[in-house]
Structure 1
């Protein structure tokens, strides 16, 4: 069982640090992007092997849901739009528009979706 402690972070960078510590201990590689987070969940180079059945418990997930909610997600997209290349700013603007209209996903929801997309991983929000 792998435990993500929502009380250990309050930002996306903090989340990346937390999952690097629990999923990638004893490696030099750190998570720093959503794609990178998705990649480590395939296993094989962290604390579990490729396709190994894994349970992740996200403690204090309600705190994380608030911390990684609407405001921080809006800032996340706005920063990418400001940076421009290599980001697809049209796509990101659409995601921001959807979010502002109540149709888009927050960072918390995106992270949960990424975890749940891995069929060998069971996620428990606590």
Structure 2
């Protein structure tokens, strides 16, 4: 949901964790919410980062955005260790163009409790955009 009438006159984007249970589903959700009236859809972590800069889709460059992630605990589970292991294993299996050694290291970090899950990575990407305030609910 995109709401342009919150109290600070900031746009609000609401991601519903109940609408998806996989990374592909997350990409579909944010594409639906943020890329209206465009032919481009999110399909990678880098692509997700790119749309958060704005300038196309539903908000402009550096526009102040409140991003609310409803049912974030469900998403944290859905995009947790199991999904992240499968993500890295898939990259390792595919081989090039992926950096296999990096993927193996990230998988090892995850297996030893030091790595980030997909949920952690998505949250970090969002928080790296200083014009976006992330609210986990």
Give unmatched runs, 5+ long, in structure 1: none
Question: Larger Cα Rg: Structure 1 or Structure 2?
Answer: 2
2:106 to 64, 87, 95: 95
Structure 1 partner of 2:7: none
Give unmatched runs, 5+ long, in structure 2: 1-11
CA drift at 1:26: 1.1
Structure 1 partner of 2:6: none
Distance in 2 (CA, whole Å) between partners of 1:6 and 1:28 is: 24
RMSD: 0.3
CA drift at 1:68: 0.2
Give the SS at the match of 1:86. coil
Give the SS at the match of 1:104. coil
Give the structure with the higher percent helix: 1
Aligned residues: 126
Are 1:41 and 2:52 counterparts?
A: yes
Higher RCO structure (Cα 8 Å, ≥6 apart): 1
Are 1:114 and 2:125 counterparts?
A: yes
TM-score by length of 1: 0.99
Give the SS at the match of 1:44. coil
TM-score by length of 2: 0.91
Structure 2 partner of 1:32: 43
Superposition map of 1:44-59 within 5 A? 44-59=55-70
2:21 to 7, 10, 26: 10
CA drift at 1:79: 0.3
Superposition map of 1:60-79 within 5 A? 60-79=71-90
